[in-house]
Every structure is written in C-alpha cells, then in structure tokens.
Amino acid sequence: MNTEQFSRISLLIGEENTTSLFTSHVLVVGMGAVGTMAVEALARSGVGNFTLVDFDTISISNINRQIIATWDTVGLSKVDESKKRILSINKNAKVRAKNTFFSEDTVDDIFDVNYDLVIDAIDSLNPKCLLLEYCYKHNIKIISSMGAALRRNPSLIRCEDLFDSYGDRLAKLMRKRMKNRGVGRGIKVVFSPEVTRFDYKTASSTDKEETLERGRKRNVLGSLPSITGIFGLTLAHYALSILCDEKEFSGLMAIKKG
C-alpha cells in the first residue's frame, strides 16, 4: 500500500487500524447511489479487498445521484464500473465484481469466502431480507441501508439497531419479516424517520418502471444526490468503526454478531 496516500487516515486512527483496513474484505450488495458512495469512502480510507454484487447497468436516470454514472458509462455494468473506480483510487486493492442477483440461487457463490463485514444497499425487499437473515444466522457482521429515496432533511439520518428504528416504511416491513424469520437484535441500519410525501397505495402504473429483476415493476421514487450520498457515507463511517478499534470512532456503538 502507498503509505503517503493513506497518511491522513493513519494520522487520525493510527497505523494498526490503517493496516487492519488494508487487509479487510468487505462485501457490498447493491451498487446504486447508496452502495457506490459507501464503496467510494471505504476505498479512499484504505479498505483493501472488495466483493461487489449487482446485476444492473447504468441508466441515464442514475446520473443525478450515482457516483459511477456519467454519460460515458450509461449502459455499462455497475459492478464493473465500480471496480474500475476502486482501482483508480487504490491500484493495490483486490476487487471481485459479481454481475448477478442476490438470491437463494446465488447466495452460496457470493459467500464463497469469509468477509469481515457486509454492507447491504439492496433496494428490493425480498433479497434484502434474505441477506440480513443469512448474515444473522451465520454470525456475519452486517450494516444495512433503509430507504433513502423521498427524503429531504439530512439532519434526520441516523444509525440504530433495526428494532430501534422508526418512521421508515421499509424498516417497518423489515422488522416484521425479520421477527418472523427468527432474526433478533444486532443488525445496525441507517435510516431516516422523515415523513415522506409519496402515496404507495394510490401510485399508478406511470409511477412504476420495469427493472432487470425478473421483469418486476416497482415504484419510481424521487431522490436527491445529497441524501443518498449521506446514507452511503454514513454506512461507510460505521463500517470503518467496525473494521477498526472503535475507540477511535467516539460515540459509535458496536455491531453485535448475530
């Protein structure tokens, strides 16, 4: 590793913690606005090993908020472009790009190695539940993003245990499903309790778009680059506290295994 490149990190958290980041392996599932921003911060902090999972390609509508999305990358694979960006930041990083869905059919292939941490930035409910359940039951540390779309107030973004989160529709659904699957406390989530202005029940077909995920339609939700970026950076900051000596990250609570 280039010690000069990461000297500002080392000055703040110490050489031992910086070395720990160099050897850490982080799995990131979901390379959208939140996931790519989390990866950006982790790569710039010196995390040395990544596995990236997403089946999607970059679209024009992604340009407003996804750090890998430009007119030059429209139509290209999100995981491939994310890999290129990581290596442009840290040429010594090792990056595995898995251009696939996260599902029961692919979970064993994705978890073919041991990870120090998993970051969940999936925006679909069923795969998200599967990932959290898998990590919980296999004693793997994970931090998860709840809904970043529709939010406007950055001061309301916070990180708590999933079962302490509130005011977030996705988190409410997750809590119910996790409880039914025997998943308990110990999973940290980034969320916002901000009251949103979208009526899911009355959304028309024009408010939905096709996705690559088996042709399923889902609601098109407005989002700001500032908010999705803060969600991603918050994920990354808590991830760093888990990968390092947490005393260097004053005020952060530890994620419990399982």
Gap between the Cα atoms of 117 and 225, Å rounded: 25
Q: What is the pLDDT of residues 108-131, one digit of tens each?
A: 999 999 999 999 999 899 999 999
Gap between the Cα atoms of 251 and 238, Å rounded: 11
Gap between the Cα atoms of 82 and 254, Å rounded: 28
Gap between the Cα atoms of 227 and 150, Å rounded: 9
Looking at 75-79, 165-169, 182-186, 220-224, which range is the least confident one?
220-224
Looking at residue 254, its pLDDT comes to 52
Looking at residue 199, its pLDDT comes to 57
Sole residue written with tokens 């925006």: 123
Gap between the Cα atoms of 240 and 243, Å rounded: 5
Asked if 193 contacts 156 with a C-beta cutoff of 8 angstroms, the reply is yes
16-27 mean pLDDT: 95
- Which tokens go with 200? 């899911």
pLDDT higher than threshold 60 for residue 133: yes
133-157 mean pLDDT: 95
pLDDT higher than threshold 90 for residue 220: no
Looking at residue 1, its pLDDT comes to 65
Angle between helix axes 15-23 and 225-243 (nearest 10 degrees) is: 110
Looking at residue 211, its pLDDT comes to 44
Looking at residue 210, its pLDDT comes to 43
Q: Please choose, from the candidates 136, 89, 119, the residue with its C-alpha nearest in 3D space to the C-alpha of residue 239.
A: 119
Please state whether beta strands 94-98 and 49-53 pair in parallel, antiparallel, or not at all (unpaired): parallel
Report the percent of the chain where pLDDT is more than 70. 85
Asked if 162 contacts 233 with a C-beta cutoff of 8 angstroms, the reply is no
Looking at residue 217, its pLDDT comes to 56
Looking at residue 222, its pLDDT comes to 87
39-55 mean pLDDT: 97
pLDDT higher than threshold 90 for residue 216: no
Average pLDDT over the chain, rounded to an integer: 89
Looking at residue 221, its pLDDT comes to 83
pLDDT higher than threshold 90 for residue 203: no
Say which residue, 3 or 172, is predicted with more confidence.
Answer: 172
pTM of the model: 0.88
Asked if 29 contacts 119 with a C-beta cutoff of 8 angstroms, the reply is yes
The model's confidence at residue 197, banded by pLDDT at 50, 70 and 90, is confident
Looking at 46-50, 126-130, 194-198, which range is the least confident one?
194-198
Q: What is the pLDDT of residues 84-110, one digit of tens each?
A: 999 999 999 999 999 999 999 999 999
- Which tokens go with 224? 């700001």
Q: Which helix (H) or strand (E) holds 117?
A: strand 117-120
Q: Please choose, from the candidates 50, 55, 22, the residue with its C-alpha nearest in 3D space to the C-alpha of residue 38.
A: 50
- In order of start, what are the domains of the chain with their CATH numbers? 7-248 (3.40.50.720)
